[in-house]
Structure 1
Amino acid sequence: MTQADIGLVGLGVMGANLALNIADNGYKVAVYNRTAEGTQAFMEKAGHLKDMFIPCYSSEELVANIKAPRPIILMVPAGAPVDQQISVLREHLKDGDILIDAGNSDFHDSNRRYKELADTPFTFVGMGVSGGAEGARFGPSIMVGASEAAYGRIEPILKAISAKHNDEPCVALMGPEGAGHFVKTLHNGIEYADMQMIAEVHEVMTKSLGLSIEEQAKIFSKWNEGPLASYLIEITANVMGVIDEESGKPILDIILDTAGQKGTGRWSAVEAHLLGVPATGIDAAVAARCMSASRSLRQEIAEVYPQLDETLSWEEKQEGIDACESALIAGKIAAYAEGFAVLAAGGKENGWDLPMGDIARIWRQGCIIRSRFLDEIAQSYDENPTLESLYLAPTIAERMKDAVPGLREVLCMGISNAIPTPALSSALGSFDMIRQKRTAAYVIQGQRDFFGQHGFERTDKDGSGYHGPWPAGGA
């Protein structure tokens, strides 16, 4: 019997689609699921690709059916299930075998596993895969954390199955250990911010501009032809255009307003705080999802504080639409600027030389945050590999200058009409803070020294540890 080129464990939606993608690209796959029923169901649905798979019903059978040295992909839930699969498989793996965790793992876990398995005959790889179920099936963006030798071995398969942007594979080596999962985590953090800002602009267009969902669907479709062109803008237009068959209403009118989350956005926010890098847009997006879960409390409070109503002329509406487009452009730039700042800090903290330009390039296709704007980010890092902030890139700076007035206008509409805009507000607040030559932090330092004798630095002298002539009892 012909052996497989690669193995895959975990035949849920993502694992099954990735297996089909690999087979579609000419590689034979040994597949294994925790339950025999899962393996059988997958094989029954494999269709014309059925002969490209070897169904396996034990770890021993899986390993025996893959050509040595064996690459094996784990597509199981993050956390304990990954460790359990590693524990089971490690007894059967040999020299040169590669175990690839392709789930949404915490990069700290990947760092740990990489180190714990360093002395084993096989090699551990932590691989971030973005694009959802569709991306897994037809071409995801892939971020790899591995040794150069291990990456070199699996690179041909990964390039074959990845998304392509102008025929360029959207896959790259991020660095060793958990570098791939770290980059994937920040991808998801930026995704959280981007999605929240889109939702906020929708609320402004609905409650302040009085635009129907059908009208907004056309507006988002038009925006997708310009600088906002992206997967999220495209699918927002599509979602807005869908009518619920049962109620006859736009489907957005009948979807419950509680947003779920799987943790990666929160991980991004936590890492940003630990690294001392502001990621206020991501913070706000995570907080908004948490607040959405408190639906019954929101309903009760809303009865105490009724909404405001305002009627605008069409000319005012059109001006508002243009401002909303600018607001999303500015917000997107802010989200990427903060996200890439956290990536840079995380790379430095962990000793990884993260390829910032390559990150932008492999995000241009396949992943959820793919957008036309990523071309400008990639070009900015090509022109200046040591770019300290995206706000300093000339092309991006000009775009930000043009867009910020619209963001301010949208926030004014939101505030005056009691419409929550936490992510957009955070984006502007962060931008306005980072562009100040002198912030109000000197007030905080004065307060800290007054009550705790923490000391401060002076603008007119070198050194630190200075104290103010505070009144008695200040400390």
Structure 2
Amino acid sequence: MGEGLALNLESRGMRVAVYNRTAEKVVRFLKERAAGRAIEGYTDLRSFVSSLKRPRLILLLVKAGPPVDQALEALASAGLERGDIVADCGNSHYRDSDRRMVEAASRGYRFLGVGVSGGVEGALRGPSMMFGGDFSAYVEAERLLGRAAAVYESSRCTSYFGDGGGGHFVKIVHNGIEYAILQAIAESYDYLRRGLGMKAPEAADVFEEWSRGELRSFLVEAAARVLRHTDPESGRPLVEMIVDEAEQKGTGVWAVEASAEFGAPAPTICEAVQHRLISTRRDLRSRLSAPARPGGRGVGASLSPEDVGSALLATVILSYAQGAGLLDSGARRYRFRVSEAFRVWRAGCIIRSRIVEETFESLFYGGGEAAVQILAERQDQLEALLPRLAAFVSDAARIGLPAPAASSALAYYLALRSERLPANLIQAIRDYFGAHGFRLEGREGVFHSDWGARAG
């Protein structure tokens, strides 16, 4: 991503200098992708820092965690001066960015934590940028970096999301939604493939059709293209040759942790993370796999591709709603408008979609919590989709296909539309064995019962 962003910035008329501690990478970049460009390369950090005009704007694109702290320490030792700006454009944890902003201020330079979404192509052509950190640094940096950002209807896909880690918090939520949607897409593909017996090119046709309607999005379009791509050597669909293990770098786990920390339910994001972990247990899956089981493989699927598409649409809508709930919690901490996240997600980023565009419009003119507003405005649509979502979950289970994203989205929605849940029994049993107490309908205070007996 670093190379693409450097090329993007240079193409907008900016003078760019790059540094990497591995000299071979710098030399190769200058000779190949940056050949003939106004880009200078350095392998000595002090020389790199000295080459920049003050106040300096330095972008970090390194692995999250200790490498970022090490890079910041190295830059400080290499000649950073008061007023310089260092922007961490990697996928850092928001708490780390909270800390780094304070540490930077104590050393005289300004820190930005910038969530950048768009992948390799987005970095080159225009990503979505979610800024957090020192506000004065944001104002100065956005004047330059904003020129390289994605644009939607003349609006730059950049915004400020508060002090410290606000920008990285929004990026973590973005990635959590991405996890959920990817899992939902994979489940739809699995049903088309193993349930309806479609080959990859046929499934590609279905995804392509979906991408022309309410499911229009980068990820659904990407699924269609990936399914249609063939291996040049064998002529087989490349996707069918890829090992069925989904990797992850940590932002999905952080979204799950944020859900627990802020008390914002996000079950579909949680299931997407868990299912990636399950995918890596190929040894266990191999031992438990069997050619035929009662109620398992060999029983024909009963749904149409249209039914599957409706279930996918419902799951995607509910995934965005769960992400909005996380954003509502983060907005209280970092003091940003949730609608701004959906605004900058309309172009450049991985989760850009028709749903994002429509959601921004409704949130911009609405008020209150974003998750509540999304669910209320789409309630009629969700009610219409509910039978097909339930049928998809049921039929997938009947023929032995896991559908954790769809099933968790279904349970999430059914719970939210239930006036009364069985949580009263949970609380009663908690009081029975642990004297945790409970509240009573229509009465003030916390109560406790001896239940006539006590567990050991």
Smaller-chain TM-score range?
Answer: over 0.9
Instruction: Please give the residue correspondences for 1:181-260 in structure 2 after superposition, counting only pairs within 5 Å.
Output: 181-260=168-247
Q: Which residue of 2 aligns with 1:370?
A: 352
Which portions of structure 1, spanning 4 or more consecutive aligned residues, are displaced by more than 3 angstroms? Answer: 46-49, 304-307, 390-395
Cα shift readout 1:150-191 (whole Å, capped 9, x = no counterpart): 111011112211111122111111111001111111111110
Which of 65, 76, 88 is the equivalent residue of 2:74? 88
Q: Which residue of 1 aligns with 2:439?
A: 457
Q: Secondary structure at the match of 1:303?
A: coil
CA distance in 2, matches of 1:177, 1:385: 25
How far does residue 47 in structure 1 lie from its aligned partner after superposition?
4.6
How far does residue 196 in structure 1 lie from its aligned partner after superposition?
0.3
How far does residue 61 in structure 1 lie from its aligned partner after superposition?
0.9
Q: Which residue of 1 aligns with 2:318?
A: 334
Change (3 A) 1:473 1:95: closer
Change (3 A) 1:302 1:43: same
Partner amino acid for 1:380?
S
Partner amino acid for 1:467?
H
Q: Which residue of 2 aligns with 1:29?
A: 16
| Conservation of the 8 A alpha-carbon contact between 1:207 and 1:309 | no
The size of the alignment, in residue pairs, is 453
Range with greater deviation from structure 2 (179-188 or 377-386)? 377-386
How far does residue 390 in structure 1 lie from its aligned partner after superposition?
4.3
Q: Which residue of 2 aligns with 1:308?
A: 297
| RMSD across aligned positions (CA) | 1.6
Change (3 A) 1:320 1:331: same
Q: Which residue of 2 aligns with 1:119?
A: 106
Which of 54, 58, 67 is the equivalent residue of 1:68? 54
Partner amino acid for 2:378?
I
How far does residue 412 in structure 1 lie from its aligned partner after superposition?
1.5
Partner amino acid for 2:297?
L
| Conservation of the 8 A alpha-carbon contact between 1:344 and 1:354 | no
CA distance in 1, matches of 2:280, 2:343: 35
| Conservation of the 8 A alpha-carbon contact between 1:334 and 1:431 | yes
How far does residue 336 in structure 1 lie from its aligned partner after superposition?
0.9
How far does residue 397 in structure 1 lie from its aligned partner after superposition?
2.3
Which of 417, 424, 440 is the equivalent residue of 1:442? 424
Partner amino acid for 2:346?
R
Q: Which runs of 5+ in 2 are unaligned?
A: none
Percent pairwise identity: 37
How far does residue 354 in structure 1 lie from its aligned partner after superposition?
2.1
| Conservation of the 8 A alpha-carbon contact between 1:277 and 1:341 | yes
With normalisation by structure 1, the TM-score equals 0.92
Q: Which runs of 5+ in 1 are unaligned?
A: 1-13
| Conservation of the 8 A alpha-carbon contact between 2:324 and 2:370 | no
| Conservation of the 8 A alpha-carbon contact between 1:357 and 1:385 | no
How far does residue 210 in structure 1 lie from its aligned partner after superposition?
2.4
Which of 27, 32, 41 is the equivalent residue of 1:40? 27
Partner amino acid for 2:53?
K
| Conservation of the 8 A alpha-carbon contact between 2:300 and 2:399 | no
How far does residue 392 in structure 1 lie from its aligned partner after superposition?
4.9
CA distance in 2, matches of 1:301, 1:78: 36
Q: Secondary structure at the match of 2:80?
A: coil
Q: Is 2:375 the counterpart of 1:389?
A: no
How far does residue 474 in structure 1 lie from its aligned partner after superposition?
4.3
How far does residue 38 in structure 1 lie from its aligned partner after superposition?
1.2
CA distance in 2, matches of 1:231, 1:32: 32
How far does residue 211 in structure 1 lie from its aligned partner after superposition?
2.3
Q: Which residue of 2 aligns with 1:347?
A: 331
Q: Secondary structure at the match of 2:59?
A: strand
Q: Secondary structure at the match of 2:436?
A: coil
Q: Is 2:443 the counterpart of 1:471?
A: no
Which of 248, 256, 273 is the equivalent residue of 1:286? 273
With normalisation by structure 2, the TM-score equals 0.96
| Conservation of the 8 A alpha-carbon contact between 1:376 and 1:395 | no
| Conservation of the 8 A alpha-carbon contact between 1:380 and 1:393 | no
Q: Which residue of 2 aligns with 1:3?
A: none
| Conservation of the 8 A alpha-carbon contact between 2:363 and 2:370 | no
